[in-house]
């Protein structure tokens, strides 16, 4: 039986591309990628809806290496879309070889994204992946050169489509024809396109040489205050943040919380000196329920001991210049 690997995000286009090919009696295996910046949850839900087998691949190590210096640069924020998609297609190609599949499917639509899905960009991605003659874009195939599987008659090119541009009407109609009624909106999904997150990520890259995946996960929660080259303070915004920060704590961190009032969970990653921990305690008090203009006690846990720090809250207006997500950090 003819087999294909579908690079599968779980968005509508990837669902339609996979289903178009399956309707030619071709066995399709979905392949979703995961990093700290995007998950496979949407793909897993979509694969269940299509009753299509799905493999999830964590590509964090390779993705972080690529992210430091992408050959084709970044989009509006820190999204290296061309290099990212090239990397994914390399993994899809290896999966194709391992499983004996005949070709790779993607849900790309010609011209849908001007920078990364123009005809030239699609060709560059395919060439750099090393699998250019095996990458089928079913939604726009009739507008592109035929690949090996088409030339060999393994898939009927006349049953593929010629969709192009940013409009969604053809895909929505096709979804209706296929009985696909539950699908995610096209935007979002990758944190590297989020301005607030990418400011935090740039700050991490510029201040932490040997960062870990945990350091990236911390960027997703709380308010982040850069108070020096060496020290950052993270303050939980709500109970959900506080719980997430607790799960990400490590023994070399300083962890602070209010002794007598409801308040945030505060982390100083990798700890800090006495002045930095005193400032972290003041920020903890500032975002707590402690009354204004009164002293409050903050408990500070470090690797070797627990200490009580008595502080007064800092006026929130005086803290804004440290908030990474608002302004970046200026020395």
Does residue 206 sit in the same domain as residue 314?
Answer: yes
Does residue 181 sit in the same domain as residue 198?
Answer: no
State whether the Cα torsion 79-48-28-181 is positive or negative. negative
Span 95-121, pLDDT tens digits: 999 999 999 999 999 988 766 787 889
Does residue 22 sit in the same domain as residue 148?
Answer: yes
Can you give the pLDDT at residue 319?
Answer: 81
What H or E segment, with its residue span, contains residue 63?
helix 60-68
Does residue 45 sit in the same domain as residue 153?
Answer: yes
Does residue 35 sit in the same domain as residue 178?
Answer: yes
Q: Judge contact between 63 and 85, C-beta under 8 A.
A: no
Domain range spanning residue 170? 3-190
Domain end call among 137, 163, 190: 190
Q: In whole angstroms, what is the distance from residue 190 CA to residue 39 CA?
A: 8
pLDDT at residue 244 is higher than 50: yes
Does residue 212 sit in the same domain as residue 310?
Answer: yes
Domain end call among 139, 163, 190: 190
Total domains in the chain come to: 2
Does residue 321 sit in the same domain as residue 227?
Answer: yes
Q: Which residue has the higher pLDDT, 18 or 76?
A: 18
Does residue 201 sit in the same domain as residue 185?
Answer: no
Does residue 144 sit in the same domain as residue 200?
Answer: no
Q: Judge contact between 30 and 47, C-beta under 8 A.
A: yes
- Helices 81-99 and 60-68 sit at what angle, rounded to 10 degrees? 150
Can you give the pLDDT at residue 317?
Answer: 79
Span 268-315, pLDDT tens digits: 999 999 999 999 999 999 999 998 888 999 999 998 799 999 999 888
Does residue 201 sit in the same domain as residue 167?
Answer: no
Domain end call among 190, 225, 248: 190
Does residue 186 sit in the same domain as residue 309?
Answer: no
Can you give the pLDDT at residue 190?
Answer: 92
Q: Helices H, strands E: what count in the chain?
A: 12, 11
Strand-by-strand arrangement of the 254-258 sheet: 223-226, 232-235, 266-268, 254-258, 295-301, 306-312
Residue 329: pLDDT band with limits 50, 70, 90: very low
Q: What pTM did the predictor assign? A: 0.90
For residue 310, the cross-strand partners are 297
Q: Judge contact between 222 and 241, C-beta under 8 A.
A: yes
Tokens for 197? 């997150």
Contacts of residue 137, Cβ cutoff 8 Å, sequence gap at least 6: 17, 105, 106, 107, 108, 109, 110, 122, 144
Q: In whole angstroms, what is the distance from residue 82 CA to residue 36 CA?
A: 18
For residue 132, give the CATH number of its domain.
Answer: 3.40.50.620
């Amino acid at each position: 039986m003819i087999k294909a690997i579908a690079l599968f995000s779980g968005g509508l286009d990837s669902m339609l591309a996979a289903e178009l090919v399956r309707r030619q009696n071709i066995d399709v295996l979905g392949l979703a990628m995961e990093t700290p910046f995007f998950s496979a949850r949407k793909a897993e839900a979509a694969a269940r809806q299509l009753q299509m087998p799905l493999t999830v691949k964590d590509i964090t190590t390779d993705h972080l290496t690529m992210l430091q210096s992408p050959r084709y640069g970044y989009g509006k924020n820190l999204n290296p879309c061309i290099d990212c998609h090239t990397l994914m297609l390399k993994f899809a190609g290896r999966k194709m070889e391992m499983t004996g599949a005949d070709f790779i499917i993607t849900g790309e639509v010609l011209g849908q994204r001007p920078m990364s899905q123009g005809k030239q960009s699609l060709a560059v991605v395919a060439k750099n992946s090393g699998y250019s003659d095996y990458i089928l874009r079913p939604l726009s195939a009739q507008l592109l050169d035929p690949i090996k599987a088409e030339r060999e008659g393994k898939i009927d090119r006349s049953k593929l489509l010629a969709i192009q541009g940013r409009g969604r009407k053809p895909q929505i109609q096709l979804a209706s024809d296929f009985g696909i009624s539950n699908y995610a909106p096209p935007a979002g999904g990758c944190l590297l396109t989020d301005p607030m997150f990418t400011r935090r990520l740039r700050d991490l890259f510029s201040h932490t040489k040997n960062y870990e995946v945990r350091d990236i996960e911390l960027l997703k929660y709380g308010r982040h205050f850069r108070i020096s080259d060496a020290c950052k303070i993270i303050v939980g915004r709500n109970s959900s943040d506080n719980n997430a920060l607790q799960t990400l704590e490590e023994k070399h961190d300083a962890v602070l919380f209010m002794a007598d009032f409801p308040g945030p969970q505060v982390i100083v990653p990798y700890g800090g000196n006495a002045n930095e921990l005193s400032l972290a305690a003041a920020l903890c008090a500032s975002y707590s329920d402690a009354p204004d203009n009164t002293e409050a006690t903050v408990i500070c846990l470090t690797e070797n001991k627990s200490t009580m720090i008595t502080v007064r809250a800092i006026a929130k207006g005086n803290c804004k210049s440290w908030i990474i997500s608002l302004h970046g950090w200026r020395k």
